[in-house]
Amino acid sequence: MSGIIQLLPDHVANQIAAGEVVQRPASVVKELVENAVDAKASEIKLVVKDAGKTLIQVIDNGVGMNVTDARLCFERHATSKIKHAEDLFALHTKGFRGEALASIAAVAHVEMKTKQDQQELGTHIIIEGSKFVSQEVAVVPKGTSFLVKNLFFNIPARRNFLKSDNIELKHIIDEFERVAMAHPSIHFIMISNGSEVFNLPSSNYRQRIVNIFGGKTNEKLVPVNEETEIVSVTGFVGKPEFSKKTRSEQFFFVNDRFIKSGFLHHAIMSAYEGLLRTNDQPSYFLFLQVPRHTIDINIHPTKTEIKFDDEQALYAILRSTIKHSLGMFNVVPALDFERDATLDTPYNYKNKEADVPIIQVDSTYNPFTASNESVKSSVYSRNVNKNENNGSWESLYVGLKRDTFEVEKSILETDGVMSKLFDEETTESKSLLYQLNRKYIVNSIKSGLLIIHQSRAHQRVLYEQFLTNITLQQASSQQLLFPLSLIFAKDELRLLKELQPTLEGIGFLFEASKQDALIILGIPAQVTESEVAPILQDLIYNLQKEVPEDSFSLSDSIAKFMAKSVAVKSGKLLNETELSNLVNALFACKEPNFSPYNKPIFITLTTEDLDKRF
pLDDT tens string 42-71: 999 999 999 999 999 999 999 999 888 888
Distance CA 286, CA 181 (A): 10
Q: Is the pLDDT of residue 157 over 60?
A: yes
User: Which residues neighbour 567 within 8 Å (Cβ) at sequence distance 6 or greater?
Assistant: 455, 456, 458, 459, 462
pLDDT > 70 fraction of the chain, expressed in percent and rounded? 78
Distance CA 260, CA 111 (A): 33
In this structure, what DSSP letter does residue 345 have? P
Which residue has better confidence, 248 or 169?
A: 169
| For residues 397-421, average pLDDT | 48
Give the total residue count for the chain: 614
**Residue 207 CB burial class (10 angstroms; 0-12, 13-18, ≥19):** middle
Q: Per-residue confidence at 215, pLDDT binned at 50, 70, 90? A: confident
Q: Where are the domains of the chain?
A: 10-200, 205-328, 451-586
Q: Per-residue confidence at 571, pLDDT binned at 50, 70, 90? A: confident
| For residues 525-534, average pLDDT | 84
HSE of 329, CA atoms in CB hemisphere, 13 A = 18
pLDDT computed for residue 416 by the predictor: 46
Report domain 10-200's class.
alpha beta
What is the three-class DSSP state of 250?
A: strand
| For residues 456-470, average pLDDT | 91
pLDDT in tens, 101-146: 888 888 899 999 999 988 899 999 999 988 889 999 999 999 999 9
**Fold category of 451-586 in CATH:** Ribosomal Protein S8; Chain: A, domain 1 (3.30.1370)
Q: Per-residue confidence at 422, pLDDT binned at 50, 70, 90? A: very low
| For residues 575-589, average pLDDT | 91
Per CATH, 10-200 and 205-328 having the same topology is answered: no
In sequence order, what DSSP letters do the residues of 226-243 get, joined into one string? EE-SS-EEEEEEE-GGG-
Q: Per-residue confidence at 428, pLDDT binned at 50, 70, 90? A: very low
Q: Is the pLDDT of residue 374 over 60?
A: no
User: Which among 257, 277, 260, 35 is positioned nearest to 146, based on CA atoms?
Assistant: 35
What is the three-class DSSP state of 223?
A: strand
Architecture of the domain defined by 205-328: 2-Layer Sandwich (3.30)
pLDDT computed for residue 276 by the predictor: 86
Distance CA 244, CA 229 (A): 33
HSE of 572, CA atoms in CB hemisphere, 13 A = 13
User: Which residues neighbour 253 within 8 Å (Cβ) at sequence distance 6 or greater?
Assistant: 181, 182, 235, 259, 286, 287, 288
| For residues 28-45, average pLDDT | 92
User: Which of the residue ranges 227-241, 443-457, 491-505 would you say has the lowest mean pLDDT?
Assistant: 491-505
pLDDT computed for residue 393 by the predictor: 54
Residue 197 · residue 189 · CB < 8 Å: no
User: Which residues neighbour 182 within 8 Å (Cβ) at sequence distance 6 or greater?
Assistant: 253, 256, 257, 258, 287
Distance CA 450, CA 603 (A): 6
Give how far Cα 524 sits from Cα of 258, 469, 563, Å: 41, 11, 12
Residue 26 · residue 173 · CB < 8 Å: no
In sequence order, what DSSP letters do the residues of 515-534 get, joined into one string? SSEEEEEEEETT--HHHHHH
- Tell how strand 257-259 and strand 448-453 pair up: unpaired
pLDDT computed for residue 549 by the predictor: 54
CA 530 to chain centre: 19
User: Which of the residue ranges 137-141, 241-245, 392-396, 516-520 would you say has the lowest mean pLDDT?
Assistant: 392-396
pLDDT computed for residue 494 by the predictor: 80
